[in-house]
Copies of this chain bind each other. A is one copy, B any other.
Amino acid sequence: MTDTAIINEVGLRDGLQNQPVPVSTDAKARIADALVNAGVRYLEPVSFVSPKAVPQMADAAALTERLPRRDDLHYTALVPNLKGYQLARDAGYPTVALVLSTTDTFNQRNLNMSLEQAAASCETILSAAREDGIATRTYISGAFACPYDGPVPVALTQSLAERMFAAGSDEVAIADTIGGGNPRQMKDIMAPLIREFGAGRFYVHLHDTRGLAAAMAWEAADLGVRRFDASLGGLGGCPFAPGATGNMATEDLVYLLESSGLKTGIDIQGLREAIALAAEATERPLGGRILSWMASQEKQGKTACLW
């Protein structure tokens, strides 16, 4: 397996959105620069969401102006509804990320819509994006477990993915939003979907809440998935709940994939600079499993030789 994988850095969006310490546009722009210096080429830096609901994202348009511009950089904005879509389009995003949760309860809490209303809203946005020539990725959120209703049937996640492809979504992201999934579920959900649509149209988005993100990412990679979300230093999750970690750490995903023969183009040493900036800005310790190991090696005076 010597091929490449894409890691889409969502730390500035999913990682920051629930952080209690306000992070300035300037600090976010510096983190974005450091990420790009580390080799990150795919970033989801903002969501166009109500500033009242998510104050950390209130500077979405302003931050967009400050992001590094290069032909090899691929930016996505998350859009919760049609208004958000229009703002993202007007800000110049070539790709938008939509969200469809798997249960009525989760959609109500997130978007104040039923599952059916949320699916119809996604269909409206997908149709508008197609007309505007904007690429789309639809997140099936809570694809493994719903924070309110518990484990989610495999067939439900699959049928929502199929519906979003049918509505014109270019890509579908299977998202373990609360880190409640396991690698067996990953196989059960993804294997039939990949047979139907091909692995190239899927993203996998994981949270390492219960320690199974690497196992799930590996299962997805083994099935042929080559596109993953991750968040620098594991930024994300609820900062008030110790142990309730956030997104799978970018550095842990880089280590998993690179050690298993998949090139990511991302340098873990370079990521450390971005992580240090993010830790300073959010006033919390950050860092995935592999960083703990590297730090312990360095403390013993050894070079942390990764592979």
Report A's interface with B, CB cutoff 8 A: 1, 150-151, 182-185, 187, 208-212, 214-215, 217-219, 222, 241-244, 252, 255-256, 259-261, 288-290, 292-293, 295-297, 299-300, 305, 307
Contacts and interface: CB of A to CB of B under 8 A. Distances in A.
Contacts of A292: 242-243
Contacts of A183: 215, 218, 222, 256, 260
Given A218-B219, A259-B184, A241 B211 contact: no
B218 A293 contact: no
Contact of A299 (B242, B261, B289, B297): B242
A292 B242 CA distance: 8
8 smallest CB-CB distances across A and B, nearest first, come from A211-B289, A243-B292, A243-B296, A184-B260, A182-B259, A215-B218, A214-B215, A215-B215
Given A211-B289, A214-B214, A243-B295, 19 more contacts: A1-B184, A182-B259, A183-B215, A183-B218, A184-B260, A187-B222, A210-B289, A211-B214, A211-B290, A212-B255, A215-B215, A218-B218, A218-B219, A241-B296, A241-B300, A242-B296, A243-B293, A243-B296, A244-B296
Nearest to A209: B293
- Copies of this polypeptide in the complex: 2
Nearest to A259: B182
A210 B244 contact: no
Given A1-B184, A218-B218, A259 B212 contact: yes
Contact of A211 (B243, B244, B255): B255
Contacts of A299: 241-242
Contacts of A219: 218, 222
A215 B293 CA distance: 17
A305 B211 CA distance: 15
Contacts of A288: 211
